[in-house]
Amino acid sequence: MGNAPRAAEGFLNNMSSELKTVFVGLAGLGNVGAGVYKNLLKNGDLLTDRTGVRLQVKRIAVRSPEKHVGLQIPEGMLTTDWRDLVRDPEIPIIVELIGGVTEAYDLVKTAILAGKTVVTGNKALLAGHGYELVALAEREDVPLYFEAAVAGGIPIIKAVREALIGNHIQAIYGIINGTTNYILTRMSEAGLGYGEALGEAQALGYAEADPTLDVNGWDAGHKAIILAWLSYGHWVKPEQVHVEGITQISQTDLTFARGMGYAMKLVAVIRLDATNHIEVRVQPCLIPQSNIMANVHGVMNAVAVYGDIVGETLFYGSGAGQNATSSSVISDLADAADNLTNEAGTNNGFVPQGHYGACLPVDETLSRYYLRLRVDDRPGVVASISTIIAEHGIGILSLVQPEVDAGADADLMLMLHQATFGRMKQAVAAIAGLECVLAVPVLLRVETLKAR
């Protein structure tokens, strides 16, 4: 990339030795957008002292101006058309925080074509269109920043692209959705049912009124796609990513896991196998209570990164919320302003290198498993199930069936040896067809969270 985006050429030519001001166009004034605006005002002097640049919001695009009266926005700053931000020659940086994909895509693409630096926190946009937008930004010679798209206030993007730049990334494991982590924490620690824990999360503002993207796992899935690209230079298509949510998790599963020395977490797995195939998946899984990730509670996030030189590194912090996410946006703004005002052009965003192989099909991924079955409590049931598992070449590590009254239904929990997911699915499908199995089986992975 060159020294400066063309939209900033006039701005740079007119700079003097006095304090430099960089104007920002902010698209979106929801929870995160409002946080960016307020925190830029709150810590503006601190930023100026540290960067030598004054960052100033000039225009803000919103859908409904009347909703933002409480923020005391100066008259004339609000507009209902984000194109006003892009058309303003005094605004070299556009911050996209409107959410969604379609309009956000149009905004980011238009801004890049206009030569504007773009900062976004839109994980769904990047997961679906990142390949195209990054290529466009490279072609147009303008930076695209997105620290806020993954893990809220945790600077995981900077860590991978800067601090670990000399490492081959072997694996990344992440608890990267605060809503689901809060729900699972409350279910485990307070004995709440899934519905109760979700309702509590919504009441506290940790979950949206429509929590679908959180609880079905796709919020974490979008972030996993971005982390895979950062690590391996390959954009995995959403349809190639195996994603499961937490809606099927019950107190029975949590109790059994705890008794066996495991915690239940929704974990994103991104890793490279020996054949340079990239494994990207998100699912609730059992992890050993001795692992530090098992002790990430509430809405907190954690990301473990394994590099071939550095070994294991762990990043922990608030993964969502107005202040945490706006902190990441402001960090990108500082980098963008530095890039604009530094004639050497030393910070033009990030282009990952490597371009490793294709995505590993989920049916070829390996792990151990937990299987819970609701069965008739009668002779021969365990033998029938064990036979099917053995016929598929899978070993049983342990089997637990709590005592029940004669004739009552029973829960049967099995811990199974490592097997491919495809073989495991075939075995479970055959077991589900047995007359003695009374409900849909619950199959969960057991992860050790090691480098390979």
The answer to whether 256 and 400 are in contact (CB under 8 A) is yes
- Rounded distance between C-alpha atoms, residue 357 and residue 377, angstroms: 48
DSSP category for residue 28: -
CA distance 335 to 53: 11
59-91: b (≥16 Cβ within 10 Å) or e: bbbbeeeeebeeeebeeeebbeebebbbebeeb
**Rounded (10°) CA dihedral 72, 28, 142, 55:** 20
β-strand pairing of 311-318 with 242-243: unpaired
Q: What is the DSSP string of 360-394?
A: PPGGG-EEEEEEEEEEE-STTHHHHHHHHHHHTT-
- Identity (one letter) of the amino acid at 2? G
Return the sign of the alpha-carbon dihedral for residues 155, 156, 157, 162. positive
**Which tokens hold the place of 111?**
């801004």
- Rounded distance between C-alpha atoms, residue 361 and residue 295, angstroms: 30
* 223 labelled catalytic: yes
DSSP 359: B
Identified catalytic residue from 123, 223, 265, 425:
223
Positions annotated as catalytic residues are 223
